[in-house]
Structure 1
Amino acid sequence: MTHKVCNPTRRNIIKGLGAATLLSPLCTLSAWAAKPRRIYIDGLSFLPSNIADVKASKLDGFIADISAIETIEQSDGTQNYKRTYQACINSIKQAANTVSANPDTYLQGLTGADIDKARAQQRTAVYFQIQGADCVESDGISTNGDLPLWPQLDSLHQHGLRVLQLTHHYGNRFAGGALDNDGHQGLNNPLTPAGRALVAELNRKNILIDVSHASEQTALDTIKVSQSPIVLSHGAARHFVNHARCSSDEVIRAIGDNGGVFGVFMMSFWLTNKPVPTIEDYINQLEYIAKIGGVDCVAIANDFPLRGQENLLALENNNNEGVKEYLDWWHSLQSKNVLGFDVEPKHVVIPEFNHIDRMSRIDDALKKARFKSSDRDRFMGGNWQRVMKKVLI
């Protein structure tokens, strides 16, 4: 029996993990040996300090945040992180050097086709991303009436930038931020005129636009004006956790209609408000994104290092202890009445997925939940690959 995405009986089926599958005559060892493993792509992680983590992760490709940040104390007492051009041009050069120094492991991803190339060579394609357009500091104004000039964006692109997030948590001159929502769920923080010009330039340069951390209105505005599919590389559905950092059905549906993808990440306090997070909570998120945005919208993301959240690993995934490092930040936004921060987090990770073999474990969980093989192909990497091939040309 195969899984249909909106089957209401799946929650009962998931509890019976996999015995029937193991007995199937189709699942012989020789059959699996003859079939290549499905493509695994992670929507957001980081270049690891231990190069062995890349092979151990089994990833065919991943988007790597390579940006460098400066901590900014805001006027209201909260903290933001600004990615300056100088910091980011230095960090992208360092990242490119790291990739080129490990040719047996990495292939720097410049086009969507590089995933197939890396896979054929048993390497991992890595696509450079910056989480916030603060690095584009110039005005983008032409002096002779031609197309606007974007020298800093040109430079970053030449060094390998292929995915750009419009903002991170808080708004900038291009976009509204999710945590600026001031009780209106982001509806008062649209894409700005400068943001519209930036979106047009990103389309022209074939750079993938990421609306993670953006306000709801900025995400919707970006989808309307972009000529290419956009992504929300790492997030979760507000249906489960009513929080500013999570996305409404309207945003999820618009991303699906746009031909983009929505990556569900590993930060469990944005996946469920239950006191103990489980594998099923993650599967529920994927199923819901498929229900609202379509099966071609669902993707996997991380937002932690490849091997997992390091502090939680050191604590043997003790969420009761690990969540303490987030509480000061959480309380600072609770005092500003930002949506969702009134509910104090109780955990950080789903222990089974805070692991270097995360992708295989997610794949296995989808199989045990009776998702169709074709949907697993899409979720685990096929949807990312499709969008990358469409945009990164």
Structure 2
Amino acid sequence: MPYPPANPSDYESFPYLRRGVDYTTVDLADPGFRRSAYEPALDETRSARVQRLLENNVIISFHDHPQLLPSDMSDVPDYLRDQQLSTAYTELRRSGMTAVFDNWFGILGGTSRSGWKWDDLVTALGMRLADLAHQDGPVLARGVQDILDAKSRGQVAFVMGTESSGAIENELDRIDVLYGFGVRQMGLVYADSNSLGSGQAEPGDGGLTMFGHRAVQRMNALGILIDVSHASDQTTLDAIRVSEKPVAITHAGARGVWPIPRMKTDAALKACAERGGVLGLEAAPHTTVSHEHRTHTIDSVMDHFTYAVDLMGIEHVAFGPDSLFGDHVGFHHAISGNLSLSAMLDPGDLEYQRVSHVDGLENPAENFRNITSWLVTHGYSDSEIAAVLGGNILRLLKEVWR
């Protein structure tokens, strides 16, 4: 079922520009549209507890794309190329989130179909910051206090991040430039290998390169959170070993639950936890499926959650749903040639049900209320829920950021 189009006049982003004159507008997905049928069985007492937990705690998405997609997937290439991506600010304010690690669509080609180059990355970052600067309420988070202040003021804090460091090429000082512009989280590599290391789609695994080693050290020195979500198995282990600071896996799941390259091995999850890192549970369609729930829903994702909690300890687990506003599956089809998705999501001979969306975790507006409801329903304590909703990430950021 496709998303119904919203009127281009409903764009919230770039209020200082003339829509249709300074940039091309397209019909966008309606940010308020819901396909999820998930309804947690909550009585009045539990409903009140869910509301209290959302209101009283810092809620952090470790990885999301809070922008709206076009309603027509044929508009995706031009929409992404223009860089004026519309963010669903009103929906984010209603979501209960305090902060979101915003990774834009930062591995897709701008001037090149093979991925962002340096100019593309800097342009996209500058566009995002200009838009944020002209919004009432949302703030840029450069440190932990910015997130805490956003909570106290009822704002949403945006943490600027990248899914891949490929755009820095072999220029180490470009990491400093990105830090200066406000980037506080960097993925080392995406599906394909780059100058830092190997990606998840590669048939061979060369691990972290010497330049990657130096980049990890520079990120440590600056205070940038290192993310190995899309790094190969060996690159993940190498980065965790080399880094002087804890390393994050902002959006992934457990290969012990669903054996595809996109998921992380037990060895990687254990190493991450042993060094003080945190895993954010992924929920992009057809990723965190499980043997018990082969139709991808919130229950599949929470199978990965319970497994990770048992393996890593609850103090090392959080949520990075990797969701967006619009037709996520259609979006994957539209850009699959750029992302090597088939190699990362290949389940081999395992059978699973293809879905149009992940029921219960469809977009950033609904995710954390449903996650909190699930945790309440399944008997987790207030302190445990507070930890996985944001407390664990805050602890990590206090160790890594300067």
TM-score by length of 1: 0.78
What does residue 316 of structure 1 align with?
none
Residues 224-373 of structure 1: pairs in structure 2 closer than 5 A: 224-273=241-290, 274-305=293-324, 308=325, 310-311=326-327, 325=333, 340=347, 343=350, 346-347=354-355, 349-355=357-363, 356-373=365-382
Tell me, in whole angstroms, the C-alpha distance in 1 between the residues paired with 2:57 and 2:266: 29
Aligned with 1:168 (options 158, 175, 190): 190
Tell me, in whole angstroms, the C-alpha distance in 2 between the residues paired with 1:47 and 1:337: 23
Deviation at 1:344, TM superposition (A): 6.8
Greater C-alpha radius of gyration: 1
Q: Give the AA of the match of 1:40.
A: I
Matched, 1:114 2:146: yes
Tell me, in whole angstroms, the C-alpha distance in 1 between the residues paired with 2:103 and 2:393: 16
For the residue of structure 2 that corresponds to 1:86, the secondary structure is helix
Q: Pick closer, same or farther for the CA change 1:51–1:252 going to 2, 3 Å.
A: same
For the residue of structure 2 that corresponds to 1:70, the secondary structure is coil
Tell me, in whole angstroms, the C-alpha distance in 2 between the residues paired with 1:364 and 1:221: 37
Q: Pick closer, same or farther for the CA change 1:257–1:300 going to 2, 3 Å.
A: same
What does residue 389 of structure 1 align with?
398
Deviation at 1:282, TM superposition (A): 1.9
What does residue 90 of structure 1 align with?
123
- The CA RMSD over aligned residues, in Å, is 3.2
Deviation at 1:120, TM superposition (A): 1.0
Q: Pick closer, same or farther for the CA change 1:370–1:93 going to 2, 3 Å.
A: same
Q: Which moved more, 1:63-72 or 1:261-270?
A: 63-72
Deviation at 1:81, TM superposition (A): 4.3
Tell me, in whole angstroms, the C-alpha distance in 1 between the residues paired with 2:387 and 2:299: 19
Tell me, in whole angstroms, the C-alpha distance in 1 between the residues paired with 2:306 and 2:229: 20
Tell me, in whole angstroms, the C-alpha distance in 2 between the residues paired with 1:31 and 1:47: 23
For the residue of structure 2 that corresponds to 1:271, the secondary structure is coil
What does residue 133 of structure 1 align with?
165
What does residue 61 of structure 2 align with?
42
Deviation at 1:244, TM superposition (A): 0.7
Tell me, in whole angstroms, the C-alpha distance in 1 between the residues paired with 2:344 and 2:223: 38
TM-score by length of 2: 0.76
For the residue of structure 2 that corresponds to 1:178, the secondary structure is coil
Matched, 1:54 2:92: yes
Q: Give the AA of the match of 1:229.
A: P
Matched, 1:379 2:401: no
Q: Pick closer, same or farther for the CA change 1:205–1:180 going to 2, 3 Å.
A: same
Deviation digits for residues 126-150 of structure 1 (CA, Å, limit 9, x no counterpart): 110011111212444xxxxxxxxx1
What does residue 11 of structure 2 align with?
none
What does residue 101 of structure 2 align with?
63
For the residue of structure 1 that corresponds to 2:198, the secondary structure is coil
For the residue of structure 1 that corresponds to 2:314, the secondary structure is coil
Contact 2:198 2:207 in 1 (8 A): yes
Tell me, in whole angstroms, the C-alpha distance in 2 between the residues paired with 1:257 and 1:99: 36
What does residue 210 of structure 2 align with?
193
Q: Pick closer, same or farther for the CA change 1:341–1:133 going to 2, 3 Å.
A: farther
Q: Pick closer, same or farther for the CA change 1:214–1:35 going to 2, 3 Å.
A: closer
Tell me, in whole angstroms, the C-alpha distance in 1 between the residues paired with 2:400 and 2:181: 18
Q: Pick closer, same or farther for the CA change 1:195–1:367 going to 2, 3 Å.
A: same
Q: Pick closer, same or farther for the CA change 1:139–1:369 going to 2, 3 Å.
A: same
For the residue of structure 1 that corresponds to 2:201, the secondary structure is helix
Q: Pick closer, same or farther for the CA change 1:337–1:297 going to 2, 3 Å.
A: closer
Q: Give the AA of the match of 2:167.
A: C
Deviation at 1:125, TM superposition (A): 1.1
Q: Which moved more, 1:295-304 or 1:34-43?
A: 34-43
**What percentage of residue pairs aligned between the two structures are identical?**
20
Residues 202-217 of structure 1: pairs in structure 2 closer than 5 A: 202-217=219-234
For the residue of structure 2 that corresponds to 1:233, the secondary structure is strand
For the residue of structure 2 that corresponds to 1:232, the secondary structure is strand
Tell me, in whole angstroms, the C-alpha distance in 2 between the residues paired with 1:65 and 1:302: 12
What does residue 155 of structure 1 align with?
177
Tell me, in whole angstroms, the C-alpha distance in 2 between the residues paired with 1:63 and 1:30: 26
Q: Give the AA of the match of 1:83.
A: W
For the residue of structure 2 that corresponds to 1:222, the secondary structure is helix
Gaps of 5+ in 1: 1-14, 74-79, 141-149, 183-187, 313-318
Deviation at 1:33, TM superposition (A): 6.3
The number of equivalent residue pairs is 340
